[in-house]
Amino acid sequence: MKQCNLSNDDILELTHDFYKQFDSYFFKKFMGVFKYRKDIVSFKNYDGGGTLGTCYELLCASTSYIQILRDHNIGDVTTTIHEFMHATSFSINPNHLYDPNKDFLSEFDTTFINLLATDYISQNLKTEQIYANSFNALVDHYNSINSAYILDLIKDEDITSNKDLSSFIKSHEANLEIILHYIKMDLPFYLFIYSLPFIFAVELYNIYKTDKDKAIYLLKKIINANCNSKEEYYQMMLDFGLIPGRHLNTYAVDINKKVKSKIKLNIDGVKMT
């Protein structure tokens, strides 16, 4: 992993500049949080193989606290931008995170921002390494969704031997080794809170690329929505034209071009054209 020598202040400055060029409404809301950065943001060093970020939203105090465990790779920047989006959305509508009807997509807005931040950082820091991170995330999301899907199907099956399991998984055009790896690592459960929002976020990202105003209008609507049921929220996303999976292949092809085939694609079931 390529190291990045950015200081904590550099990361905060890049985060600020990203939101400034993103949109005036969101920048204003972001600044409402960012102005307290000295009190609410904590950076620590971490050597665990990847940046970790957390945003704690305290409903009782209408305040968010952000902790970034720095791995000194470019992910430190995108993670900081991501966590600030949690805090910004919380300042716009605390229910966006606390509404149990919306929590299955609680990483939607932040994942969308990650996709934009990736482009922004790539252009500004002239690094394509960041797209390798995106590519790895894409593979994880794909395998996580596929593994969760297989697990869901398996519970209704009468499987009594490894042979049964193997042929069942193969019959669904899945890769046994990959599925077992993800299941053993508990990854479908850990990643799914990100993977499901990811396939919706790719759709908003796709709209953003041709109609920025529309994408921002939809993002505001989604954050401000208070829903009576999960079904209502899901239907609202579909009504907004966010059909999960519709542009996933386009996105995958795009990312693959950006990493310039340095990484060989080998994902069962993902059609690359």
Per CB under 5 A, 111 contacts Zn ion: no
Residue list 75-104, contact with Zn ion (CB under 5 A): none
Question: 100: left (phi > 0), else alpha (psi -120 to 50), else beta?
Answer: alpha
x-or-dash pattern for Zn ion, window 36-75, by CB under 5 A?
----------------------------------------
Stretch that binds Zn ion, among 2-10, 106-114, 159-167, 263-271 (CB under 5 A): 106-114
CB closer to Zn ion out of 74 and 169: 74
Residue nearest to Zn ion (CB): 110
Q: Which amino acid is at 187?
A: L
Determine the Cα–Cα distance for residues 210 and 206; give it in Å rounded to an integer. Answer: 7
Q: Which is nearer to Zn ion, 107 or 203 (CB)?
A: 107
* Total of chain residues touching Zn ion, rule CB under 5 A: 2
> Could you tell me the smallest distance in angstroms from the CB atom of residue 65 to Zn ion?
14
Q: Does 110 bind Zn ion (CB under 5 A)?
A: yes
**Distance from C-alpha of 10 to C-alpha of 60, rounded to nearest angstrom:** 31
User: What minimum distance in Å lies between the beta carbon of 222 and Zn ion?
Assistant: 15
- With respect to Zn ion, which residue has the nearer C-beta, 110 or 256? 110
Q: Pairing relation of β-strands 63-70 and 41-45?
A: parallel
Strand order in the sheet with 41-45: 41-45, 63-70, 52-58
Number of H helices, E strands in the chain: 13, 3
Minimum distance, C-beta of residue 107 to Zn ion, in the bound complex (Å): 5
Tokens standing for residue 115: 């996709």
Structural tokens at position 88: 């910004």
Q: Which ranges of 186-247 would DSSP assign to H, the alpha helix?
A: 187-210, 212-224, 230-239
How far is Cα 199 from Cα 178, in angstroms, rounded to an integer?
20
Site string for Zn ion, 179-218 (x = CB under 5 A): ----------------------------------------
The residue ranges that bind Zn ion (CB under 5 A) are: 107, 110
